[in-house]
Each structure stands twice: as structure tokens, then as C-alpha cells.
Amino acid sequence: VLMDFSLPAATREIIDATTASGTPLVCGVTGLGEDLMAAISGAAETVPVVYDRNMSLGIAVLESIAVQAARALGEEFEVEVHETHHVHKVDAPSGTALKLGEAVAAARGEDPASMHYESERRGEVPGDHTVVFSSASERLRLDHSVATRDVFANGALRAARWVISQKAGLYSMRDVLGLGG
């Protein structure tokens, strides 16, 4: 399995190497443009690819639960995605926050641009994410916090063990955990 957690500038070469060798790919590079996402989709036509902006098992479960909540609660509930990361993190909202917002928006049949995000940068926080559903009479908060960055490596290794037995296709961590794409 080829694993790519580098930077977008290196991802094209990684994709080319995986397709040329027929090697499954686990990719967690964030900030990829449409051209590189199309290249990943193209690679998935010939090799199995797990692509996800966050390799945490807990985030995959949070995303699945948030989608279920969005479908069940409907449009009478407003949705916010809150995220906190270390002061060195450049992107805001984070790729994980965007991933959660996009999943909720899709479940509600809404444009992902309509989602509300709140980003905070402080200390050395590896990553905290909360999806909040609010109505006039109640509030549901779904939280996930990372204590150490080990969770990302552990998730990537689980994805690598899983992807080697898959047929060509594009998968996410939700697929790795059997939660559906």
C-alpha cells in the first residue's frame, strides 16, 4: 500500500506511481484542488483508493451520526460546525470541518456553501470538532476531540490493512469502518 500524507505538490507523482504499479493508495492530503481530486478518482478506476481528509476512526463515526441526525431532524434545525486547532494550522475552516459540513449539507439536500462554520486557533490543540443542531426548543451537540495525533496514524494503518483486499474504487474512512460512503 502506498500512503500519501504529504502536500498537494507531491500528490500527482504519488497518484502516478500508484497507478503505474497497481498499488492500493491511502491518501489523507488536504487542500487538493479539483484537478487532483479528479486524478484520485481516475486512479480509483484501476486501483483501490482510500481518500479522506481525516483518518480518525472517531471522525468517521461522527460524520455518520451527523448525517443520520441531519436526515432525521430536518431543516427546522439550524446546523453549525465548530472546530478548534493549534495556532500553527493555516486553513480555516479545517478540512475536517468542511468534510462534516459537506456531509450534513448533502444529507439535507443543501448547498455546502450554506453551512455555518466557526474556527478557533489556540495552543497546541490537535483537533476538536463539534456539529451543533439547534431549533427554537432544543440543541444537539455531537463532539469529537483528539488527545494525540496518534489517532490519525492508527486510522491510516487500519485503512491500509482494509484497502489491500478491496477492488478498484474510491473509498473513505466510513467505508473502512463499514459505515457506508
Catalytic residue numbers?
Answer: 85, 89
| Cα dihedral 125, 84, 90, 38 in deg (nearest 10) | 110
93 Cβ contact list (under 8 Å, min separation 6): 81, 83, 101, 117, 119
Distance CA 63, CA 52 (A): 12
Beta bridge partner(s), residue 63: none
Distance CA 96, CA 62 (A): 11
Nearest to 156 by CA among 34, 44, 20, 2: 2
CA dihedral (47, 48, 54, 55) positive or negative: negative
Q: Is 26:3 a contact under the CB 8 Å cutoff?
A: yes
